Amino acid sequence: MNGQRKTLNSAELRYNGHTIQFPVFEGSMGEKTMDIRALRKETGILTYDPGLINTGICTSDLTYVDGEKGVLLHRGYSIEDLAANCRFLEVAYLLIFGKLPNPVEQKSFSELMNLHSMIHEDMQHFFRNYPEKAHPMAVLSAMVVSLSSFYPELDRESATERIDNTVTRLLSKIRTIAAFSYKKSVGEPFVYPSYKLRYCANFLNMMFSSPVRDYTVDPVVERALNLFLVLHADHEQNCSTTVVRTVGSSGANLYASITAGICALWGPLHGGANQAVIEMLEEVLSQGMSVRDVIESAKRKESKIRLMGFGHRVYKTYDPRAKIAKEACKNLLEHLGHPDDPLLELAMALEEAALKDPYFQEKHLYPNVDYYTGIAYRAMGIPTNMFTLLFAMGRLPGWIAQWLENSRDGEQKLMRPRQVYTGEVANRVLPIGERA
């Protein structure tokens, strides 16, 4: 059990002539929750909740989202405050270790990050054997799970290794793996991490410097990347995080659990949406579709087209991360000399049209974090198929913190939901020759 929990009056359920009481409690922001763990034992009935729309799977001290008001807090700090005043690694430290680092903690965290930034030389062979068109998310997931064989010391949170070593190893190596997978895809030699560069500058340098090309990290691009990673750092029980907790609940190690989260993130309804947004915008431009055409086809159910980067399970108002990302994207493009980038103009025109349209208004569909980030990444020179990988880099501290919280929470159990069986009830095996 985590943090502050207040017990309230219990709730009553009447079923089949019996009245059963269930405890109700609230968390530190007043969200009322009915504890239904005893329901099946007491009544024989299950709850049915596809997509876990109304099910809290844990208590957590990490992140608070108010989807109606558009509020996002990490350990009590607003996303606006963190985005304006913290680097990505400070937010990572906050999520994982529970506080913003002081100068001494920050220095030792940076030193550890530097120490762990290289990947084992033998891992380079893996990259060489991927086809050049391999999706970076496939490479990333395989590489992260492979870390468990190169660094097997962490068998859950054991005495054999300090947790901050494993945590920094993952945080630091993920950007090296990401940059190496890019270099492999363009057929250029790998660029090693440098002890002289900070987290985001190091990543940009590994991506874009080459023996035949001078590359100096643009501090504005570095700041923008820092900000985008901060915006992705955690988002309570989203699809990939729930997967990380689920895999971790079986006793699987951190690397295996994070790998599962990376795979869950890949889908276009989740983190893959940042890639899908750009593909959608490019297609609209290349086909010469009008803004109205796009909006109308996104509204037609039979078209199976959605306005990618719009809508969210929890936010029923403007995603606060999207607000920050939109401004940062506009500023970055201005700095890079593309203030009238056609994709940005199209994205803003689609947003304006959607927000005025009764379909989007009634369903409370607003831009989410993925809507503007891809445009900014594209302007930085990052290829479209790497956008979701950048989401994974940003979300990593959240996954780690959630995995740790889950494994330390005495109330957590092996994740094992139920189902309602609706299949055949009394079949009998026929000899093969008699089967239809």
**Nearer CB in complex with ligand ACO: 336/355:** 355
- The distance of closest approach from Cβ of residue 300 to ligand ACO in the complex, given in angstroms and rounded to an integer, is 9
Q: To the nearest whole angstrom, how small is the minimum distance from the Cβ of residue 29 to ligand ACO?
A: 21
Q: How far is the CB of 172 from ligand ACO (least distance, A)?
A: 24
C-alpha distance across the termini of the chain, in Å = 54
Cβ-proximal residues to 318 (8 Å cutoff; 6+ apart), any chain: 70, 366, 367
30 token code pair: 């007043």
Closest among 270, 74, 98 to 167, alpha carbons compared: 98
Q: Could you tell me what percentage of the chain is helix, strand and coil, using 3-state DSSP and rounding each to the nearest 5?
A: 55, 10, 40
Q: Tell the smallest beta-carbon distance from residue 174 to ligand ACO (Å).
A: 18
Alpha helices in 266-357 (DSSP H): 273-287, 291-299, 320-335, 342-356
| Residue owning tokens 């659990």 | 257
C-alpha 25/C-alpha 413 separation (Å) is: 20
CB 186 within 8 A of CB 212: no
CB-based contacts of 154: which residues, under 8 Å, 6+ apart? 148, 160, 161, 163, 166, 253, 254, 255
Q: Are 22 and 362 in contact (CB under 8 A)?
A: no
Nearer to ligand ACO among residue 74 and residue 312 (C-beta): 312
Please state the φ and ψ torsions of residue 353, each to the nearest 5 degrees: -65, -45
**Residue 27 Cα distances to 61, 66, 78, 287, 333, angstroms:** 10, 13, 18, 50, 41
For residues 62 and 364, the answer to whether their CB atoms sit within 8 Å is no
Q: In the bound complex, what is the minimum distance in angstroms from residue 240's beta carbon to ligand ACO?
A: 8
Name, in order, each residue with C-beta under 8 angstroms of 159's C-beta and a sequence gap of 6 or more.
Answer: none
Tell which residue, 309, 335, 332, 334, has the closest CA to residue 321: 309
Nearer residue to ligand ACO within complex by CB, 240 or 406: 240
What are the catalytic residues?
A: 312, 370
Smallest gap from Cβ 268 to ligand ACO, in A, equals 6
Measured from the CB of residue 306, what is the shortest distance to ligand ACO in angstroms?
4
351 versus 370: smaller Cβ distance to ligand ACO: 370
User: 21 vs 55, which CB is nearer to ligand ACO?
Assistant: 55
Between 310 and 403, CB nearer to ligand ACO: 310
- State the residues that interact with ligand ACO by CB under 6 A: 238, 269-271, 273, 298, 306-313, 363, 365, 368-370
Residue nearest to ligand ACO (CB): 311
Whether the Cβ atoms of residue 155 and residue 253 lie closer than 8 Å to each other: yes
Which of 136, 374 has the CB closer to ligand ACO?
374
